[in-house]
Structure 1
Amino acid sequence: MHMERASHFLSIFFLCFILIAAFTLPASAGPEEKVLVLEIAGAITPASDNLIADAIDKAETGNFEALLITLDTPGGGLEETQIIIKAVENTTVPVIGYVPESGKAWSAGTLILMGTDIAAMAPFTVIGSAQPVQISAEGTKPIEDEKIINALVKFSTETARKHGRNETFAEEVITKNRNLNDEEALEEGVIEYRAPSVSDLLDQVDGQVVKGRKLQTANAGIETYEPPFPISFLTLISNPVLSSLLLTIGLYGIIFGISNPGAGAEIFGIIAIVLGLIGTGFDINIAAFFLIIVGIGLLVLELNSPGYGVFGLAGFISLVIGSIFLVPLGGENIYTPEFRRLLTLTVITPTIVFGLFLVFAIYKVAETRAKRPVIGAIVGDTARTIDPIGPKSQGYVRYKGEYWKARSEEEIGTEEEVDIIGKEMEVLLVKRKI
């Protein structure tokens, strides 16, 4: 019987093993071809560099066939554009630039499109107008300095030449602000494909060899890139309008805080200015450490001086924002998406817990400050005499179960109710209750 049971057990074990192998082998037979799609909409800002660097990291570590960047932008910063083009050149993943339907890639967007491995446009889209401009309080003014123009023209033509594209247009898009629609761009050799949709474009580029890799994109799955929270927040404050608004609000906040001490407006002003500076390209790591130091200082200040919670709230906000920006934003392959999520939780969670603990401590301190002094609480209450009390004779009264020495300006007998009207040292001053 024991042998039969053992044999039966082994049969079940091997059957389970075969079923597990049957379900797991197809999954490990080879990853399905997939393409990562990154959407760039709006101006090219410092956040765009981090966005593209992180997307490239994901494409490299996730074994994607290609990274497809859709461009719908009026342009942006030259330095950011050059960083993006360099990142595209240095990655081993084929990068496809695409201007989607109803989109545009003007100025910096044109340069980025010409810097991708494969360039494509949807019907009725436009690229061009890449003459650099200077933005000031008075508006935008074209830059005509030959030194800057010649350097940018050379950068543009070399980028085009590297990818076998029209160098004449690469020059005239800067010097003459030339513009091309999709048909003209294809005819003049600025782009390689026209496609009404992403899926159609992937069908067209299937089989092409890019960076030593033969693309298999015809039946590839399309995955839309979703940036981590720190980059999303950075993208938000990198909007030129919002970053300028933060700087302005911060400046007025400091002025208001100095003119009205104790309101705490200057603290929020400093935080707004730091966020505005980050949005305009200020070093994120320095800003993160600064915000954390300011946050700790404000929380300590709130614990030691009455600030009505303003300092504590500002300190808590500073700590959380500073912790968010301490998480690496991309550009290094050692950080997988899973590890980055874990790192984000590891950094931010203790900060939030610590901040909430300090907020609770601040609340308790404020609650203690709001309480009436013990003496103030006694005055006005009622007690009962134990001994006779008078102007020249002290006795004891019972107050809330405790014995207190007491005296009165009038003669009061035992077991009479009295009102407490004051206190001298350890002696209560009482009078007969009316």
Structure 2
Amino acid sequence: MRKGIGLASLLVLLFSSVVFAAEKAIVLDINGAIGPATQDYVKRGILFAQKERAAVVIIQLNTPGGLETSMRGINEAIITSPVPVITYVAPSGARAASAGTFILYASHLSAMSPGTNVGAASPVHLMQEPEKGDSKTLSTAQQKAVNDAAAYIRSLAELRGRNADWADKAVRQGASLSAHEAKRMKVIDEIADDYPQLMQKLDGRKALVQGVSETVKTKDLQLEKMPTDWRYEFLSFITNPNIAYILMLIAIYGIFFELSNPGLVLPGVAGVISLLLVLYAFQLMPINYVGLTLVLLGIMFMILEVYVSSFGALGIGGVIAFIIGSVMLFDVNNPYYRLTWVLILSMSIITIAFFFIVISLAIKSHKKAIVSGQEGLIGAEGTVLSVMNEQVVVRLLGEIWEAKSPVMLEAGQKVKVTDIKGLTLVVIPTEGKEKKSGE
């Protein structure tokens, strides 16, 4: 009897915990450009909602656009999510432009706050506007990008039962809509001033979740916001193109200095850490590997200029390759993932100045007199220790040498080396009385 009561109590507790956990909505806040950090944040948010048995996930969206690869990763997470995802463009004045439009269309349910807008989903920034929507004025690459994006957003519209024709227009012509127009044209499901109104208006809506039609219950849900954490901030930092570019240069120069001067330690440590960080960042970013190769080739040419006499040809070629590679390094069609010209020019000037200084020091070192080895003894001064017939012993630079001289020398006399024959020094006196041989 007691076992039966205990089992019943356990089942009641489990049922209560499940019901309590289901009365929750996880809120994710996307405010800014869509990138690798955003993709990671949304994926972790959906997994967290699934673990917490939340009823829905709400993405509060305000974005000017971002990376296509990150946007597609977010949409994949939304489409395959076992928890219904609601995208809410808010607060008033926010927008779901470019990549944001695709995310809005991929969501199970969508809503906008008054005073917001959606659209301008063209995948490329065209050099010139096509006349009357004539795609023939676009390059082949642009046509492919536009057609691919249009087909993708149409498939999302068909999946969610939204306006596919306007979606196509948003991609091909960059069309935009206000919140009320978007509601009227069936681009979104509802307009809501705030979260309580959003929960009330979307309650009881049907949504296709993992291929199964479900009734979404949003009334009286407890909102639990999942804030961005250190992981999000860290990914945002290292996937910033300008930061990744600086890390790459620190890695290259740090390792170069360590290999050139073993034992300095600090450049090597900084170089290896930066190298690992930049390799991780490059996995998440749209890297142009031709541009990366040109940057590395340019630096290699400038280094070779130090060791190979090319009369500046390698150095100039390296500078040109470095600048072109820096411009090509990231996707220049995306305004949120390109290097600033100020940084490119600054790094180019610093690199040129650095290698100019290194080359100047190398040239000066070649012009200096040799101060080591046998050649370094020429002109050195020493003292005669003993003279026996023509056999002279001198002390030179703390060492004892055999020497000979064209003149007679005396012990204690100062001499200077004029030549070396084998292991014998040829010396002449620098002070004292000179005596000719045989005198």
Q: CA deviation at 1:266?
A: 4.0
1:160 matched residue in structure 2 = 157
1:149 matched residue in structure 2 = 146
Aligned residue for 1:199, secondary structure, equals helix
Which structure 2 residues correspond to residues 188-267 of structure 1 after superposition, within 5 A?
A: 188-210=185-207, 211=209, 212-226=213-227, 229-254=230-255, 257=258, 262=264, 264-267=266-269
Normalising to structure 1: TM-score of the pair?
Answer: 0.53
Counterparts of 1:192 and 1:246, CA distance in 2: 45
Q: CA deviation at 1:188?
A: 1.6
More deviation, 265-274/86-95: 265-274
1:77 matched residue in structure 2 = 67
Tell me if structure 1 keeps the 8 A contact 2:38–2:232.
no
What letter is aligned with 2:115? Answer: F
Aligned residue for 2:38, secondary structure, equals helix
Label 1:158 to 1:28 Cα distance change in 2 as closer, same or farther (>3 A). Answer: closer
Counterparts of 1:143 and 1:70, CA distance in 2: 36
Pairing 1:95–2:93 present: no
Q: CA deviation at 1:142?
A: 10
2:108 matched residue in structure 1 = 117
Counterparts of 2:140 and 2:29, CA distance in 1: 29
Pairing 1:31–2:13 present: no
Counterparts of 2:196 and 2:254, CA distance in 1: 50
Tell me if structure 2 keeps the 8 A contact 1:105–1:128.
yes
1:363 matched residue in structure 2 = none
Which structure 2 residues correspond to residues 16-415 of structure 1 after superposition, within 5 A?
A: 28=17, 30-31=19-20, 33-101=23-91, 102-133=93-124, 145-210=142-207, 211=209, 212-226=213-227, 229-254=230-255, 257=258, 262=264, 264-282=266-284
What letter is aligned with 2:20? Answer: P
Counterparts of 1:175 and 1:31, CA distance in 2: 46
Counterparts of 2:96 and 2:257, CA distance in 1: 42
Tell me if structure 2 keeps the 8 A contact 1:133–1:143.
no
Tell me if structure 2 keeps the 8 A contact 1:46–1:280.
no
1:417 matched residue in structure 2 = none
Q: CA deviation at 1:131?
A: 1.7
Q: CA deviation at 1:270?
A: 3.4
Aligned residue for 2:30, secondary structure, equals strand
Tell me if structure 2 keeps the 8 A contact 1:38–1:55.
yes
Q: CA deviation at 1:95?
A: 0.5
What letter is aligned with 2:110? Answer: A
Tell me if structure 1 keeps the 8 A contact 2:238–2:244.
yes
What letter is aligned with 1:74? Answer: P
Counterparts of 1:36 and 1:73, CA distance in 2: 19
Label 1:131 to 1:24 Cα distance change in 2 as closer, same or farther (>3 A). Answer: closer
Q: CA deviation at 1:100?
A: 0.7
Label 1:26 to 1:80 Cα distance change in 2 as closer, same or farther (>3 A). Answer: closer
Larger radius of gyration: 2
Counterparts of 2:140 and 2:63, CA distance in 1: 20
Counterparts of 1:252 and 1:134, CA distance in 2: 35
Tell me if structure 2 keeps the 8 A contact 1:122–1:196.
yes
Gaps of 5+ in 1: 1-16, 136-140, 284-434
Deviation sequence 1:283-339 (CA, Å, 0-9, x none)? 9xxxxxxxxxxxxxxxxxxxxxxxxxxxxxxxxxxxxxxxxxxxxxxxxxxxxxxxx
Label 1:184 to 1:260 Cα distance change in 2 as closer, same or farther (>3 A). Answer: farther
Counterparts of 1:63 and 1:50, CA distance in 2: 20
Gaps of 5+ in 2: 1-5, 127-137, 286-439
What letter is aligned with 2:158? Answer: R
Tell me if structure 1 keeps the 8 A contact 2:85–2:108.
yes
Tell me if structure 2 keeps the 8 A contact 1:132–1:143.
no
Aligned residue for 2:61, secondary structure, equals strand
Counterparts of 1:69 and 1:25, CA distance in 2: 29
What letter is aligned with 2:62? Answer: D
Deviation sequence 1:126-159 (CA, Å, 0-9, x none)? 2222222379xxxxx9995222221121111111
Counterparts of 2:139 and 2:254, CA distance in 1: 34
Aligned residue for 2:177, secondary structure, equals strand
What letter is aligned with 2:223? Answer: I
Q: CA deviation at 1:269?
A: 2.8
Tell me if structure 2 keeps the 8 A contact 1:69–1:98.
yes
Aligned residue for 1:30, secondary structure, equals helix
Counterparts of 2:219 and 2:242, CA distance in 1: 40
Normalising to structure 2: TM-score of the pair?
Answer: 0.53
Counterparts of 1:99 and 1:29, CA distance in 2: 30
Label 1:241 to 1:134 Cα distance change in 2 as closer, same or farther (>3 A). Answer: farther
Label 1:28 to 1:160 Cα distance change in 2 as closer, same or farther (>3 A). Answer: closer
What letter is aligned with 1:214? Answer: T
More deviation, 178-187/270-279: 270-279
Counterparts of 1:29 and 1:170, CA distance in 2: 39
